Amino acid sequence: MSPAPSPAAAPARPAGHPGPAGPEAGFGVYVHVPFCLTRCSYCDFVTYTGMEGLRRPYAAALLLEAELAVAERLRPDPPVVTSVFVGGGTPTLLPPADLARLLDGLRGLLELAPDAEITVEANPETVDAPVAEGLARAGVTRVSLGAQSFEPGVLAALERPHDAHRIARAVGHLHAAGLRELNLDLIYGCPGEDAGSWTRTLRAALALGPVHLSAYALTIERATKFGRLVAAGRMRPPEDDVLADRYEAACALLGGAGLHHYEVSNWARGPVAASGLPAHASRHNLTYWRRGGYLGLGAGAHEFTGGERRWNVASVPEYLAAVRAGRRPTAGGERLEPAAAAFEHLALGLRTVEGLAPVRARALGVDPAGPAAAELRAAGLLAPGPRLALTEAGMLLHGEVVTRL
Amino acid sequence: MTRVISDQSRLRNFSIIAHIDHGKSTLADRLLDLTDAVSERQMRAQYLDKMDLERERGITIKAQSVRLAYTARDGREYALNLIDTPGHVDFTYEVSRALAACEGAVLLVDAAQGIEAQTLANLYLAIEAGLTVIPVVNKIDLPAAQPERVAREIEQVLGTRREELLLVSAKTGQGVPELLEALVERVPPPAGDPDQPARALVFDSLYDVYRGVVAYVRVVDGSLRKGEKLRMMASGTVSELEELGVFAPEAVATEQLRAGEVGYLIPGVKDVRQVTVGDTVTSGARGATVALPGYREPRPMVYSGLYPVEGDDFPDLRDALDRLRLNDAALVYEPESSAALGFGFRCGFLGLLHMEIVRERLEREFDLSLITTAPNVAYRVHLAGGEERTVSNPSEMPPANQVERIEEPFVDAMILAPAEYVGPVMELCQSRRGAMAAMEYLSEERVELRYRLPLAEIIFDFFDQLKSRTRGYASLDYEPAGYGPSKLVKVDILLQGEPVDAFSAIVHTDKAYAYGRTMVARLRRLIPRQLYEVPVQAAIGARVIARETITAKRKDVLAKCYGGDVTRKRKLLERQKEGKRRMKQIGRVEVPQEAFVAALRTDEADGR
């Protein structure tokens, strides 16, 4: 399937778009689909339940916005697109035909690399045989399933409508449709979870044979049900020591099963390239961590082109109105001072095992052989060698390392 | 509006003695209303409390005077000089000087509260100074008022008769006209000799940016004239009298001030140290040879280190202190440096309130962010070789093996409490190494307890404890009572084996363990987990008496960072980095400023 990205395989960055990262970072398109069947208790993404009537007009508007975005941000020499990621929300709530039209439309507007990774996020309960086949027909190469847990108690606490059985069936349908580049998202540190149930979830996930696994520490965001419960003192946020225990359990179990830990919260199957990255790493997400450019389409989507970040309005009606009036629905943006940009690059780059090449690190104002780095190496948080990269132990202390360097 | 009455027989100089919140400022406002002193436009509530800070705290820091023109029922006009006094134990000396400028005092007592210790202490000062006391029960309009009970209490304390006592509501004005009459009738006119060489008592001084030092004075003998040469008999300062006048209540310049009058002088000097409270002003030529009695050097009782949170602010702190001291003769300071806190100043204060006021003024008026180390007293350390040394910073205490004995300052404390709380009060005093000197019933319900206590024991949370054990009913006053030997040790606090000078304290041997345990537990709570395990220890010399461990940090990472998260997550990390930058590095340990502030706070709640 998708080979590990390497500098040699990446398309050259066209002139006129000097990005902060080199061309090896790739260029992505992110499409946000903000519809969900239900609202989960931990999620603070831009999502709406209901709004069935808006789904098709929204799909049409995405393509209109893509035209505006290309005209505004990528002329005259649009870069070659190395990945598309349709996230949400629940993108599989869009009719498969609409999704196909959207991807076709993007292909018409922009040059997609022949091996472009095209990921769609899905929740298990929305994936049946016709949806799986529809995704495959639309040219999707990779599916990321929001499994979260295989434990009924934890799924209930997260207010997910699916069960372990439904995850297995979704995987079955996707495999049957020829989609084998699958990721499973898992969350740990949830209410109702203990060391045993977390291990069971990891084992159940591995049993489905995904080539990619994401395991996220539960993060309490203010604007969520969990956030409100914690603020009201009716729920205890997960303790750091518990999260560290779960994380270490995941490292041991997933590593033992042959998955490679390549980013703070991500594991993938090999083989492993010289960069340290496994072949089945998410190319789209690597673009983020390498501080590469990407278009952001849809309500609440973020975009990063030419060293400038901007983001869209979160409201779907406002989004539709702006796009129909021929305007990009911009809500805000920022262009960073060099120091802030360097710090951001460092923080992003250190999330993966690839880390930063010594030349890049120096360009960001960090001496990879300096005393701070030496102390962190001695403490076992930075990997030995000339590159600036975290060890597995270091990943759990990414914040400490980044703020020390 | 301003008629200057200088006929000595028509002058009345008086103060109001009252506890905080017993209505002194409100009464002063009513007196101003009923006399010719202030127009509506100038009127604002609590006229005499000058600084904003005072207004907020509801207390009066700087004594001031105001002249009221009052036409009495005998048809004659009198000049009533109200001399305001500070209302806190830190300023007992200032109170005594303000009272020395008066012939009479209004004892103002809240009808719902009864007499408080401070009031009683100041009343004793007034009686000692030979003042005529007019007892007044205030707030009789309150539903909770018990004027009869309070009246009995006052009779008991003063030995006055019932009919000498006035019932007043400063809020509604009820009884205030009668009070004005009583002031004229009962308070004797000033007795000084107008023909002697001039002697004026400085009962307050302040610094004005435009005029320099302004001194508040009571002319006792002779008179002072504009333009004449002046001499301050204690400080030796000689200057020319630029201006003099009275407050009515705004400053009104006059040609002269004569025996018995109260007013202000602008002597043309720049530093309040040249014109301190208690000093005697006399004429430069043919001046008095004997100063008025009772002068005392301002003497700090409590010491604390003041450090800027941002090391770069040190020069600003120095400038701010230099400016503040122009207005505060009692503030002393000298530069010191701390391994933990960098460069700062060791400051001496009259007491805890004075310390709080200085700190607040520095932060508010000079926009500084400060760390204040735990307040301590000055110790007299007798070294083995016979040398004696005064130590006002615990980290400078010589090693135990060089010390022969340590003496600490004591105070005589007076506590007034409802009889039912005598037990808890005695318990508290005993736990603070107090020795009882006397116990006396003021009435069936109220008891006066006298204790000799180490000053160090009351500068922490003694007053809060006293209040909480008596449901707020007890009150406290104290005065210095010299030095005495005690079994004291220095307790050091170590982070990862390194002593943190800012946390060193000198405590009584019996309390060393408790102090050590409290501090290490506090610090374990306040210092965030680090990359490495950090032992927190308390030690006397080389002997560790308490230990806690801050376990190494295990998780510090944002779980997700994708395209839509970058801006927000970068800001989180930037904040974390900024927080790290602001931490003080002690060895390998990063200690947040907030941890210093919180650990050194005396009211820091523990065990939560």
Reported ipTM: the value is 0.92
Lowest model confidence (mean pLDDT) among A61-70, B4-13, B446-455: B4-13
Percent pLDDT > 90 in chain B is: 50
Which residues does chain B have within 8 Å of residue A347's beta carbon, measured at their own beta carbons? 561, 569-570, 573
What is the band of B94 on the pLDDT scale with cuts at 50, 70, 90? confident
Amino acid, single-letter form, for residue A3: P
Question: Could you tell me which chain A residue has the CA closest to the CA of B570?
Answer: A344
Cβ–Cβ contact A335 with B under 8 A:
no
Q: What is the DSSP letter of B536?
A: E
Q: Provide mean pLDDT across the span B587-599.
A: 82
- Work out the minimum CA distance from B304 to partner chain A, whole angstroms: 33
Q: Which H helix or E strand runs over B354?
A: helix B352-365
Q: B556–A404: do the CB atoms touch at under 8 Å?
A: no
pLDDT of residue A374: 95
The 3 state secondary structure assigned to A232-263 is CCCCCCCCHHHHHHHHHHHHHHHHHCCCEEEE
Q: Which of residues 50-89 of A touch B (CB under 8 A)?
A: 85
Q: Are B292 and B201 in contact (CB under 8 A)?
A: yes
Cβ–Cβ contact A364 with B under 8 A:
no
Q: A402–B555: do the CB atoms touch at under 8 Å?
A: no
Q: Are B551 and B528 in contact (CB under 8 A)?
A: no
Q: Are A170 and A124 in contact (CB under 8 A)?
A: yes
Which among B553, B563, B567 has the least Cβ separation from residue A400? B553
Cβ–Cβ contact A318 with B under 8 A:
no
The two three-digit tokens of residue A159, written as one number: 């207010």
Cβ–Cβ contact A243 with B under 8 A:
yes
Question: Could you tell me which chain A residue has the CA closest to the CA of B551?
Answer: A241
Q: B580–A285: do the CB atoms touch at under 8 Å?
A: no
The two three-digit tokens of residue A139, written as one number: 């040219």
For residues B26 and B176, what is the distance between their CA atoms, to the nearest angstrom?
Answer: 11
pLDDT of residue B455: 92
For residues A120 and A132, what is the distance between their CA atoms, to the nearest angstrom?
Answer: 11
Amino acid, single-letter form, for residue B270: K
- Work out the minimum CA distance from B555 to partner chain A, whole angstroms: 5
Cβ–Cβ contact A27 with B under 8 A:
no
- Mean pLDDT in chain A? 92
Q: B580–A343: do the CB atoms touch at under 8 Å?
A: no
Query: CA A189, A193, A194, A195 torsion: positive or negative?
Result: negative
Question: Could you tell me which chain A residue has the CA closest to the CA of B532?
Answer: A379
Cβ–Cβ contact A337 with B under 8 A:
no
Q: Are B219 and B192 in contact (CB under 8 A)?
A: yes
pLDDT of residue B118: 78
- Work out the minimum CA distance from A395 to partner chain B, whole angstroms: 7
Lowest model confidence (mean pLDDT) among B357-361, B560-564, B591-595: B591-595
Q: A347–B573: do the CB atoms touch at under 8 Å?
A: yes
Q: B564–A311: do the CB atoms touch at under 8 Å?
A: yes
Question: Half-sphere exposure of residue A284, counting CA atoms within 13 Å on the CB side?
Answer: 27
Q: Which H helix or E strand runs over B207?
A: strand B199-208
Q: A399–B576: do the CB atoms touch at under 8 Å?
A: yes
Rg of chain A over all Cα atoms, to the nearest angstrom: 21
Amino acid, single-letter form, for residue B121: A
For residues B238 and B218, what is the distance between their CA atoms, to the nearest angstrom?
Answer: 19
Amino acid, single-letter form, for residue B108: L
Q: Are A319 and A298 in contact (CB under 8 A)?
A: yes
For residues B7 and B11, what is the distance between their CA atoms, to the nearest angstrom?
Answer: 7
3-state secondary structure at position B586: strand
For residues A355 and A133, what is the distance between their CA atoms, to the nearest angstrom?
Answer: 37
Which residues does chain B have within 8 Å of residue A218's beta carbon, measured at their own beta carbons? 559
Helices (H), A257-314: 283-289
Which residues does chain A have within 8 Å of residue B560's beta carbon, measured at their own beta carbons? 216, 219, 265
Please give the torsion angle defined by the CA atoms of residues A233, A237, A240 and A246, in that order, rounded to the nearest 10 degrees: 150
Which residues does chain B have within 8 Å of residue A310's beta carbon, measured at their own beta carbons? none
For residues B376 and B337, what is the distance between their CA atoms, to the nearest angstrom?
Answer: 17
Q: Which H helix or E strand runs over B415?
A: strand B403-418
Interface test with B, best of A397, A404, A405 (most B CBs within 10 A): A397
pLDDT of residue A24: 83
Residues of chain A with pLDDT under 70: 1-22
Question: Could you tell me which chain A residue has the CA closest to the CA of B558?
Answer: A399
Q: A400–B531: do the CB atoms touch at under 8 Å?
A: yes
Greatest mean pLDDT among A44-48, A69-73, B128-132, B360-364: A69-73
pLDDT tens digits along B105-125:
999 999 998 888 878 888 888
Q: Tell me whether strands B262-266 and B243-247 are parallel, antiparallel or unpaired.
A: antiparallel
- Work out the minimum CA distance from A217 to partner chain B, whole angstroms: 6
For residue B440, list its beta bridge partners. B448
Which residues does chain B have within 8 Å of residue A29's beta carbon, measured at their own beta carbons? none
Q: B555–A334: do the CB atoms touch at under 8 Å?
A: no
Q: What global pTM score does this model have?
A: 0.68
pLDDT tens digits along B17-71:
988 778 888 898 888 888 865 444 344 444 444 444 444 443 333 436 788 889 9
pLDDT tens digits along B162-186:
889 999 999 999 999 999 999 999 9
Which among A219, A285, A309 has the least Cβ separation from residue B562? A285
Which among A32, A285, A347 has the least Cβ separation from residue B570? A347
The two three-digit tokens of residue A90, written as one number: 């629940």
Cβ–Cβ contact A302 with B under 8 A:
yes
Q: B557–A288: do the CB atoms touch at under 8 Å?
A: no
Q: Are B411 and B453 in contact (CB under 8 A)?
A: yes
Cβ–Cβ contact A247 with B under 8 A:
yes
Q: B555–A243: do the CB atoms touch at under 8 Å?
A: yes
Q: A397–B573: do the CB atoms touch at under 8 Å?
A: no
pLDDT of B1 > 80? The answer is: no
Which residues does chain A have within 8 Å of residue B554's beta carbon, measured at their own beta carbons? 240-241, 244, 396-397
Q: A304–B531: do the CB atoms touch at under 8 Å?
A: no
For residues A41 and B482, what is the distance between their CA atoms, to the nearest angstrom?
Answer: 67
Q: B576–A240: do the CB atoms touch at under 8 Å?
A: no
B270 against A207, higher pLDDT: A207
pLDDT tens digits along B286-308:
899 999 988 777 778 889 999 99
Q: Which of A35, A33, A38 is nearest to A48 (CA)?
A: A35
Q: Which of B84, B103, B113 is nearest to B25 (CA)?
A: B84
pLDDT tens digits along B476-485:
888 889 999 9
Which residues does chain B have within 8 Å of residue A309's beta carbon, measured at their own beta carbons? 566-567
pLDDT of residue A131: 95
pLDDT of residue A20: 52
B100-133 in b/e form (b: 16+ CB < 10 A) is bbbbbbbbbbbbbbbbbbbbbbbbebbeebebbb
Q: A343–B570: do the CB atoms touch at under 8 Å?
A: yes
3-state secondary structure at position B179: helix
Q: B561–A288: do the CB atoms touch at under 8 Å?
A: yes
pLDDT of residue B303: 92
For residues A169 and A151, what is the distance between their CA atoms, to the nearest angstrom?
Answer: 16
My answer on whether omega of the bond before A271 falls inside 30° of 0, hence cis, is yes
Interface test with A, best of B532, B550, B557 (most A CBs within 10 A): B557
Helices (H), B161-215: 176-186
Q: A309–B531: do the CB atoms touch at under 8 Å?
A: no
- Work out the minimum CA distance from A95 to partner chain B, whole angstroms: 25
- Work out the minimum CA distance from B577 to partner chain A, whole angstroms: 5
Axis crossing angle, helix A55-69 with helix A96-109, rounded to the nearest 10: 10
Give me the residue label for tokens 């190496």: A377
